[in-house]
Structure 1
Amino acid sequence: MLNVRSVLVTGSNRGLGLELVRQLAGKNNGPEWVFAICRDPEGPRAQELKNLAAKYRCVKILPMDTTDPSSIKVAAAKVTEMLQGNGLNLLINNAAILRQSTLETETAENMSEVYKTNVIGTMLVTQAFLPLLRKASQESPQKGMSCIKAAIVNISSEAGSITSYAIWEHGQPINYYCSKAALNMLTRCQSLGYEEDGILCIALHPGWVQTDMGNEVVQAPMRVDTSVGAILSTLSRLTEKDSGTFINWEGAVLPW
């Protein structure tokens, strides 16, 4: 099991992010801190997340807009304060958006908006929390790399694979496909850049999951709890040999 001391999840008020918080917080000997990040913690779509925070003391809800640098800076300062000198072990960049389109109907506005959230937002969030990840890595007695020590997990999609295009027939949101391909490259760059810091970096495809986004075109085949359970199991097994790879929820390597 993934026995991590501190974890931060973006986009945690629904779907995959919410279930990640639920399963992490509900574990025996679970994390001491589960930082649940979303844009509007006081909004109606965050009620389930607030219920989890009321049930589990480890869940700390914080507002953050991943497209707003000042918002990210404030959240990073707050997490630093709450960790009381400790580092952050696991950063899960889960926040993402999609705009329905085709090659003919795609717009510059859609492309820019989706890229800003799915790629630039992930980059900015990682930059902001990098000092805490470095601290966790430096202070860990463990050798090598692991998600228990210090790791960045970017939630990607097989839709971003240039080699595999199996879901093309179900819809062509070009903005999303291109953003996930770019996110995969960002992950590869992070793995190279943070290798000396001992920070593990992976891009992870969670499967075609029954979330609001996953069900936009047709009903997705995989339950959210099934995906997250497998993801947490996979994360617990990752080592330095996995850093810089693109894997699915079960740990199988996917083609770029």
Structure 2
Amino acid sequence: MSVKLEGNIFVTGSNRGIGLELVKQLAETTGEESHIYACCREPEGTRAEALRNLTTRYPGKITTIKLDLSDEESISTAVQAVSKQIEDGGLNLLINNAAINQPAPPAPLSATRKKDMMEVYEVNVVGPFLLAKMFLPLLQRATERDTPEECKGDKIRAAIINISTIISSMEKCPETFPMAQMYPYRASKAALNMLTCCQAEDFKKHNILVTALHPGWVQTEMGGEYAPLTTQESVEGMLRVMSSLSKKDSGMLLDWKGNIIPW
């Protein structure tokens, strides 16, 4: 059996782009008992208007949460707020989608500062690390609903999906580097891949799956207007892949079609 896209779902970076589309499609396709916690830095700001419209379109299905992944206190406050609402239900799916990319592409070495490296790493790696660590009790609670027979099988009640990228691949670096150097982004996503591997090993004893996904080159603020994929196409593909994941996929880097990307 595989991951079921149901229950309590936490999505970061959900006010625009891929994150917003994830919330939209999850709201459309999950059952009545499912609930989506949609996070962004300023839920009441102008850049979150589309997200607020979604919460109105799906009343009672989406809760917006204020979350700044560069601020540990903000992360802790968000986790506490979700914990109070979930209570005994547990967290079924954590999607670490939020990320930053600086300086502006192509971000060559000459334009990249120490500050860029540190800030990108803090948001893209440390943020997901802290979220997984703080949410671990809730993820475990979701798995505790399994019967002994289900625990022996391949059923997954709790999963962490880290949104990564093909340009994190060291093997493919000679192929992808000429298009955009992006030192901070590449290095941070490679670190996120290692975080995925470590947590996949660490959390297997809890029956929690941890997998990294490449969404493709997508038409977003980061991907640009010439990207071949729309957010709808990318998210449709990723959700199909998520729903097909099983224990053998934990600790892997896959693309939106389910293909394995080499480290």
State the TM-score, normalized to the length of structure 1: 0.95
Alpha-carbon distance in structure 1 between the residues aligned to 2:101 and 2:214 = 15
Alpha-carbon distance in structure 2 between the residues aligned to 1:178 and 1:30 = 40
Alpha-carbon distance in structure 1 between the residues aligned to 2:36 and 2:248 = 26
Equivalent residue for 2:168, pick from 160, 175, 185: 160
Deviations 1:138-167 (A, max 9, x none): 2234434555x0000000001100001333
State the TM-score, normalized to the length of structure 2: 0.92
Equivalent residue for 1:226, pick from 207, 230, 233: 233
Q: Is 1:179 matched with 2:181?
A: no
Kindly report which structure 2 residues correspond to 1:1-256, keeping only aligned pairs within 5 A, or say none. Answer: 2-27=4-29, 29=31, 32-56=34-58, 57-99=60-102, 100=104, 101-141=107-147, 142-143=150-151, 144-145=153-154, 149-165=157-173, 166-215=175-224, 219-256=226-263
| Unpaired runs of at least 5, structure 2 | none
Alpha-carbon distance in structure 1 between the residues aligned to 2:200 and 2:23 = 25
| Unpaired runs of at least 5, structure 1 | none
Worse overlay, 224-233 or 27-36:
27-36
Structure 1 SS opposite 2:52? helix
Q: Does the 8 Å contact 2:214/2:256 carry over to 1?
A: yes
Deviations 1:201-246 (A, max 9, x none): 001101011111111xx62111110010011111111110110111
Alpha-carbon distance in structure 2 between the residues aligned to 1:129 and 1:38 = 17
Q: Does the 8 Å contact 1:24/1:31 carry over to 2?
A: no
> Which 4+ residue blocks in structure 1 deviate beyond 4 angstroms?
144-147
Q: CA RMSD in A?
A: 1.5
TM-aligned CA distance change 1:64 to 1:138, over 3 Å: same
- Count of residue correspondences: 253
Q: Does the 8 Å contact 1:92/1:155 carry over to 2?
A: yes
Alpha-carbon distance in structure 1 between the residues aligned to 2:19 and 2:62 = 13
* Structure 1 residue 126 displacement after superposition: 1.1
Structure 2 SS opposite 1:92? strand
Alpha-carbon distance in structure 2 between the residues aligned to 1:191 and 1:49 = 31
Worse overlay, 36-45 or 65-74:
65-74
Report % sequence identity: 43
